[in-house]
Structure 1
Amino acid sequence: MNYQADVCIVGAGPAGALLSYLLAKKGLSVILLEQNVALGQAFRGEHLNEEGEAVLKSHHLFEAVEALGILRMEKLEYYAGGRAFKTILPDEAIGHLGIHVPQANLLKGILQKAQLFPNFTCLLHTKVTKLIEDATGHYRGVMAIKNGNPIKIDSQLIIGADGRYSTIRKQAHIDVQKQKHGFDLLWAKIPAPADWEPSIKMALINDKQLSLFTQVGGYLQIGWNIEQGSFPQLRKLAFTPFIQQLVEAFPELTKTVQAQITSWQDFVLLDVFSSHCNSWGTKGLVLLGDAVHTMTPTGAFGLNSALKDADCLASLLNKDTLAQFNVQYFQQMREQAIEEVLAKQIEKEQTFASNFINKAS
């Protein structure tokens, strides 16, 4: 089966979804491809900061997302010895210290709006297998498998918004430079105690960051930094002494942790790295979000940077610019801001332990 569109966007994460909506609203025909059978299945960052919030509000999307469920963080607390010794409250002008937005709610809120346009099509369970290139080296579309059947999409511009392991980036032979940050991350999700306030809580364990993020629906997300590459060896050790460190850091979670986290299998391991590409695209093809500049989880910048990429790219695209789009101009507009965010992440990682030097006794 053959499809045709002005723009083919690969990856229905936040960047791909927002860009689809903005381009469809401008009158371009858009086909959005997602390899998963449902939206929001892959694990991704779920915290908006004020910049990401502003992008959604500028396009009148925030209310639609909010109606599906969000949670504003009311405070940031640093813990030592089982109790909070420092509390940070939000700037009154901002009103929160981050907003938890479940990935499914964010995507649904945006794509419900996109689906109002007849020039927008979303194809789920569709995996790109090959880029289509013409005799001049210009990319003109993709080959894909949808529900087990081959399809072809012809387009004037291909957008790679398909994440840190981007197929589009690999198919286009765009080099990526990866940087390890000295740690990997263990994730877990547990029910929050009934009286738990929407908050972010931090502790220091073995000179590594342990974080709790309140989530929509009465849950807590645990993010536990461990030494880079240490998990295979760590999981050979006894589990109880390891998890006891979490209980000692946050005693109010004792019953929940003992009931919900009983083995290493209750954690999900994230291989932490950042990356950047010297080229953000080529003739007929553009990369954005994690596909071109992967962030670490530190500071929850990844989602917000991806939304800003999409907002910026959409401002540059219209029917007249598609055929000869200058990807270098887009790169120049966003690259410095991305470099600043990555530098900020490294600074936060290197200075995190300093928050505990003068902790209350």
Structure 2
Amino acid sequence: MDPHTERHTDICIAGGGPAGTLLACLLARQGADVVLIEKQPVPGPSFRGEILNGDGEHVLRKHELLNLVDREAVLPLIRLEYWENQRVVKTILPDREDGNVGIHIPQADLLQALLTEAEKYPNFTYKSGTTVRGLLQDGDGRYIGVKIRGADGTDEEIRSRVVVGADGRYSAVRKHAGILVNTEGHGYDLLWARIPAPDGWEPIMCSTIQNGQQLHLFTQARGYVQVGWNIEEDSYKALRKRPFEELTDTLIAAFPKLESSVRQHITSWQDFVLLDIFSSRSERWAQPGLVLIGDAAHTMTPTGAFGLNEALCDADVLHEELLNCLEKRQDICLPIDRLEQRRRSDVERRQREQLDMELKYAQNFNSLQDDNIQTNDTINRTSR
């Protein structure tokens, strides 16, 4: 086999997460030649953004993609509860009778549905287990492709009219392009674990403060509960020297109904996944021939479940701009600049909302009132 090969395409997308895969699917449907590169051999890493809010749901329904996901993998959540001393002190309900406060879809299921749809088109190519090794530029500094290494060790050059960096918070495309990023810590990191849901557990989200720790529960499709512990930023190494039961006992004290499942399924530190929490804003989303979307352009915290949904909106807007440009044979720099113009203010507003929600989190527990029911205007925006 030739150790170095080359191919040409319209759009080369690095990153097979929700943003990159949705963009590839939408472009392929409309006849664009697309190559999607993903470093993981199997789609759908664990413990990533999996809650659709109204914006993300709207994008998928608009393109008739949500109905392609396995029905067992789509779980509408019926309410958000805040607990204190083992009782509900605040409840947020959907803003309409048939609504929800979010829809859980395992990322692997969402990605598989998008890939299956994209693979119907011969103009779509998916390269899994493939890493970005560098970027290609012409004599004027315009980006014209990527250097990759495939799962079999073969080096290849993908030459394209546009390079899209959809490769996450530690974006290789962003790094190779030398795009500066402003990063802000939020004072905490997050430990995740997943346990089977107890019998009779409803499709809800719960949040509490127990022994000074913020705890969060997210019901997942196929009968699971995802548990999140907020821990002090950079404290995980020291925390691991202590008994892990300090965390599980705190969880059980807050939500006794989970005790049996917790005892059976969280038996060591190996059952936790650490997510370091920060937000970031790339100095620019676009350079000639190259554009960043999703976490590569704007990393968000898990608060409010905005990250996944803003990434899907990026992909939706960029596909519109790119198709319009390709059809009119315009300069490809125009649509990638317009993406940033259309999306940046919304994303930055969402990041400010996240920070405000984090700062005001404790206020959700100030009033201990029975049946303190509110409709959700911030987290749930499902009515379109």
User: Which 4+ runs in 1 deviate beyond 3 A?
Assistant: 321-326
Q: Which runs of 5+ in 1 are unaligned?
A: none
The change in CA–CA distance for 1:178 and 1:206 in structure 2 (over 3 A counts) is farther
Identity value in percent = 47
Q: Do the aligned residues in 1 keep the contact of 2:322 with 2:336 (CA within 8 Å)?
A: no
Aligned residues: 361
The change in CA–CA distance for 1:224 and 1:207 in structure 2 (over 3 A counts) is same
Distance 2:6 2:369 in 1: 65
TM (norm. structure 2) is: 0.91
1:349 maps onto 2:358 in alignment = yes
Q: Do the aligned residues in 2 keep the contact of 1:274 with 1:295 (CA within 8 Å)?
A: yes
Matched with 2:379 is none
Correspondent of 1:133 among 134, 137, 151: 137
Matched with 2:373 is none
Matched with 2:345 is 336
Q: Do the aligned residues in 2 keep the contact of 1:68 with 1:105 (CA within 8 Å)?
A: no
Mapping 1:23-62, distance limit 5 Å:
23-41=27-45, 43-62=47-66
Deviation of 1:193 after TM superposition, in Å, equals: 0.3
Deviation of 1:84 after TM superposition, in Å, equals: 2.1
Correspondent of 1:244 among 232, 244, 249: 249
The change in CA–CA distance for 1:344 and 1:94 in structure 2 (over 3 A counts) is farther
Deviation of 1:208 after TM superposition, in Å, equals: 3.9
Distance 1:241 1:25 in 2: 51
Mapping 1:1-361, distance limit 5 Å:
1-41=5-45, 43-67=47-71, 69-92=73-96, 95-147=99-151, 148-318=153-323, 319=326, 320-321=329-330, 323-360=332-369
TM (norm. structure 1) is: 0.96
Q: Do the aligned residues in 1 keep the contact of 2:80 with 2:92 (CA within 8 Å)?
A: yes
- The letter for the 1-side match of 2:237 is P
Distance 1:26 1:207 in 2: 52
Root-mean-square deviation (Å): 1.5
Distance 2:212 2:171 in 1: 33
Q: Do the aligned residues in 2 keep the contact of 1:213 with 1:221 (CA within 8 Å)?
A: yes
1:325 match: secondary structure: helix
Q: Do the aligned residues in 2 keep the contact of 1:174 with 1:281 (CA within 8 Å)?
A: no
1:141 match: secondary structure: strand
1:293 match: secondary structure: coil
Distance 2:72 2:270 in 1: 30
Distance 1:93 1:56 in 2: 21
Distance 2:83 2:72 in 1: 32
Q: Do the aligned residues in 1 keep the contact of 2:15 with 2:167 (CA within 8 Å)?
A: yes
Q: Which runs of 5+ in 2 are unaligned?
A: 371-384
1:27 match: secondary structure: coil
Deviations 1:238-295 (A, max 9, x none): 3323321110000101111111112222211111000001210211100000001000
